[in-house]
Each structure stands twice: as C-alpha cells, then as structure tokens.
Amino acid sequence: MNKPKAALYCRLSEEDRNKECETDDSRSIQNQKAMLTQYAVREGWDIYGVYSDDDYTGADRKRPAFNQLLNDAEARRFDIILCKTQSRFTREMELVEKYIHGLFPLWGIRFVSIVDNADTANRGNKKSRQINGLVNEWYLEDMSDNIRDVLTSRRKNGFHIGSFALYGYKKDPEKKGHLIIDAEAAAVVREVFTLFSKGYGKTAIARILNDRAIPNPTEYKRLSGMRYKQPNGKTGTLWKYSAISDMLKNEMYIGNMVQGKYGSVSYKTKTNHSRPRNEWIVVKGTHEPIIDMTLWEKVQATLSEKTKPFGSGTVGVFAGIARCAACGYTLRSSQNRGRRYLSCPNRYIAKDACTGAFISADRLEQTVLHAIRTFNEKYLDREMLLENAQLRDESDTEKTRLRADADRYEKKIRENESVLQKLYLDRVNGIVREEDFLLLSHNFAEEKSRFEKLAAGSKEALEHLEAATAVRDFDAEIETRLNVSKLDRETVLRLIDHISVGRRIAGTRNVPITICWNF
C-alpha cells in the first residue's frame, strides 16, 4: 500500500535577525520544518516537498510558495497539507472556507495543523477550525488598525515612513525616520527649479538633463545601490515631463514632510488609492530644505500663471484619454497660430525615445464624432429606447426595496459578529463553558450565514437591476446627447476608455486612430 504524500508548508511574517545571508532560511522556518518533518515521519507519511514563505504575512495572497502549494494541490501531486498552525496557512476566514472547507475536499487533499489540532479528516473539529479562522480574522483587523494608528502617529510627528526616500534625499543612518540631503541628487533638483524659474519649459528641462546623460531618479537610485521601484517601458530610465512637473510641486523640497497621499481601502488589499489633499499629513520644518523659499515661491507663481484652462497641459475633452500608440504615454497639447495640437511628450525628451504621435485637436475631435455617429446609427433602436425610458420609474421602486432589504440583513450580520466576538472573549475569560460556547457560537454562526446569503441575494438582484437600468439610461443618453456638432468632456468620459493615436503614415495625411469604447 502506497504511503500518503504530505506537503509541508512553513511561513514566517517577522523580519528575521538570525540570517547569515538573505538566502538563508530563518531560524523559525528551520524549527517549523523540523517539527513538521518529525510529525510526518511519525505518522508514516512520505514528504512530497517543503513550501516555505519567509517574511510574509498570513493575509498576503501573493506569497510565492503559498500559491505554488495551491497549484500543486489542485494538480493532486500530494495527499496532505501539513502546517504548524492553521494561521500559518492563512489568517483570512474567506480563504479558510474557500480552500480548507471547500476546494481541498474536492481535490482529495487533507489539511492538518499540529498545534491547534485542525484536521479535515476529523469532521468533529470543523467548528473549531471555523472559530480559529474567525479569531485569526479579528487578529488581522486589530493588528491592521494598530499598525495604521502607529504609522499615522509617527507621520503626524514628522517621521518619514516609507521604503524609499524622495529623490534629493536619503535616509539618515543615525536617526530613524529622518531625511538628510543627498548632495549629488540635490544639485539636480536645484538646477531643475532654477531652469524653470528662468523660463525653460518642463519638456525642455527633461531634454537638457537627458542630453547630458543625467540619470532620472529611478536610475540614479539603482546606480547608487539605493532601494527603488522598477520602471516600466523603454523610456523608463529617461527624465520625463511628469517627473519634472511632480518635482516642481513637491513641498518636501522646502523642508516639509508630506505623507499620506495614498492609502489602502482595507487591510485585505494592498491596493492604494489617492487621497484628497485635505487628508494629507503635512509637518513643516522636519528636514533641511533643498530649495529656498524665494525660489520656491517664484516657481509656484510661474506654475500658477502657466496653468491652462483645459487643465494640466492636455486638451480638455481628451485629457488623459488620448495616448501614444508607440509608447502608451498620454498626449499633451501645444498651440501654433491659434490651432491646438496633440503630441507625445516622449518624442522631445531624448533622441529615439519614441517615434511620437502627432495630430491636431480639431481633426481628432471630428474623427471621434464621426465614429460616434456611425455607432449611433448602426446599433441604437429608437423604439427600444422609448420603452426603456418608460421602464425606469418602475425599476426605481424595486431598487429602493432591495437596498432596504440589503441594509437590514447587513445590520443583522454585524449584530451576530458582535455577539460572536463577545462570546469568544467570555469563553477566554472563563465566563462561558466550552460546551456552551460551541453550541451558542454554532447557532449564531448559522444565523449569520443565513443573513449573509439573504444579503448577497438582495445585492445580486440589485446589481442585475441597476445594470439593466444603466444600459437603458446609457442608450437614452446617447440618443439625446450624441447627435451634436461638438464633443464635451462628460460625453467622452462616458463613452470612451482611451484613444490610441499613431504616427502619420509617410506620404499621406492619414493618422492611425484606434478608439477603445467603454461598452
């Protein structure tokens, strides 16, 4: 009889101080491997392999060994997954249910964790596994809140929080959270501000720096052995308009610590979103300035005067929409003899940086208008539009009911979560007996699950109804707004994701244009 094959999974989330070099496993990882190996041998299991993630949290879904483990489990390359604790595998309740209680049984994979006695072969301890998952979920949320509070406090006290120092500065090796001037990079920053104050444009400054082979901030950090973000695209090592523009507006260069520009929506995701300026954390005078106030104020006044009515140097209706087909960069505007043109800024920053797109704003607008009218005539059904408009009022009442139902169910879910958390604390403090805790937590968990299904059903019905209504409203909007002689910004954003503009075909007046619609 063949022995079961076990995959051992280890994880450490804290920075290890016992590594001799970066490629060594941490001491804790070694201890986990030894424990799991001994357990597998004692149970008579063959060891298929060891999957190890060092310096990753239990909420990180991008753990390389973790994802390889899941792929191999789905391929049925082993029979058992063995961990020290369930939380080493994941701290997220969602993943506990998805894999340990969902997919692993379908794949014929047994999950075992030693310390907390989780074993999917034992049907009797499913509830304890779910409670462990719930406790781990609370731990993640509390830890996230605590970390966020600590970081916010440090930011408000003027400490630099981040992996990368701003170009022109470097981290002070003698004082954590403090920035000191990087003389070589700071000289470039001063030159940029000085050139702009003398009338040079942002693209012209970028060209000057590139012609002198001065590395851009990312390339400079790479060459200096500093931490940096990997650039994208073939112009990733060159200075660009955007880099100059961002530098000229950055208060960090006058000694003010500016942080909190971006933040994550939830502890479950690392995706960051920009925050409004009034939510930024700004502390004045935290480090030595590179730019003196006289030069700073002169540059800010010049920037204010040069602000164009169509915004940020791009033509109004196509701002952020028109892109270069060669390099994907957003086209910017220029004006000559009263006419506006769109061109790729990368065609100017250095020789051979980009072949460069170029087109007049009027021509692009007429091309887009023609494409919209063609779509309108080909696909819109006038009778259907009228019928959809009549159905709108009826759907609004149903939407209101579904939203109220979903809100009511969500409230019930929160109430059950609160009771479960209090129940767990009562169990820990000895107020509730183990058998009472298991019975009560099971009942509340079942009720919570029922309300979750009801809430999901209401939300799904609402989404379908809103999607259908959105289509009807969208068609009606096209009917009433698109047969116009001139485009407006709202219409462009509603209909178009982006427009790709190529270089004029040699010997002709044709400019390749591709419109990517929002539908």
**Per-residue model confidence as pLDDT tens for the chain (519 residues):** 688 999 999 988 654 444 444 444 455 788 888 889 989 999 999 999 999 988 777 667 888 999 999 999 999 999 999 998 888 888 777 788 888 888 998 999 999 988 878 888 887 556 565 666 556 666 556 655 666 667 778 888 888 887 788 999 999 999 888 999 999 999 999 999 999 888 788 888 888 899 888 999 988 888 887 765 555 544 467 898 889 999 999 999 999 999 888 766 554 555 666 778 788 889 999 999 999 999 999 999 888 765 443 333 444 678 778 888 888 778 887 777 778 888 887 777 766 677 778 888 888 888 888 888 777 766 655 555 555 545 555 567 777 777 888 888 888 888 878 777 777 777 777 777 777 777 777 777 777 788 888 888 878 877 777 766 554 454 545 455 445 567 777 677 777 888 889 888 888 888 899 888 876
Torsion of CA 229, 235, 238, 241, to 10 degrees: -100
d(CA 338, CA 185): 39
Name the residue ranges covered by the structural domains of the chain.
5-154, 157-306, 316-379+495-517, 383-480
The answer to whether the CB of 321 falls within 8 A of the CB of 331 is no
The answer to whether the CB of 219 falls within 8 A of the CB of 240 is no
Count other C-beta atoms under 10 Å from residue 10's C-beta. 24
- The Cα-based distances of 250 to 189, 199, 273, 409, 486 in angstroms read 11, 19, 19, 46, 37
Full 3-state SS string of 21-87: CCCCCCHHHHHHHHHHHHHHHHHCCEEEEEEEEECCCCCCCCCHHHHHHHHHHHCCCCCEEEECCHH
Residue in this structure with the two tokens 């009022």, named with its chain if needed? 393
pLDDT of residue 393: 52
d(CA 287, CA 197): 24
Quote the tokens at residue 197: 């104050």
Quote the tokens at residue 391: 């159905």
What is the second-level CATH architecture of the domain 157-306?
Alpha-Beta Complex (3.90)
d(CA 56, CA 41): 27
What would the CATH number be for the domain defined by 5-154? 3.40.50.1390
> 191-197 contacts: CB < 8 A, separation 24 or more?
192/244, 192/247, 192/248, 193/247, 193/248, 193/253, 193/291, 193/295, 193/296, 193/299, 194/295, 196/244, 196/248, 196/299, 196/302, 197/295, 197/298, 197/299, 197/302
d(CA 337, CA 246): 29
Quote the tokens at residue 9: 């999974």
d(CA 44, CA 40): 6
- The Cα-based distances of 434 to 128, 442, 485 in angstroms read 11, 12, 75
Q: Which of 97, 91, 86, 84 is closest to 139 using CA atoms?
A: 91
pLDDT of residue 136: 60
The answer to whether the CB of 40 falls within 8 A of the CB of 110 is no
User: Would the pTM of this model clear 0.85, i.e. be above it?
Assistant: no
Q: Could you tell me where the beta strands, DSSP code E, fall in 243-374? A: 257-259, 262-264, 272-274, 281-283, 322-324, 332-336, 339-343, 358-360
DSSP helix/strand/coil, 8: strand
Q: Which residues make beta-bridge pairs with 47? A: 6
pLDDT of residue 16: 42
The answer to whether the CB of 100 falls within 8 A of the CB of 129 is yes
The answer to whether the CB of 459 falls within 8 A of the CB of 404 is no
pLDDT of residue 309: 39
Count other C-beta atoms under 10 Å from residue 177's C-beta. 16
The answer to whether the CB of 131 falls within 8 A of the CB of 82 is no
d(CA 342, CA 314): 8
pLDDT of residue 451: 80
Full 3-state SS string of 140-167: HHHHHHHHHHHHHHHHHCCCCCCCCCCC
The answer to whether the CB of 45 falls within 8 A of the CB of 3 is yes
Q: Which of 319, 304, 339, 257 is closest to 490 using CA atoms?
A: 319
Tell me whether domains 5-154 and 157-306 share a fold.
Answer: no
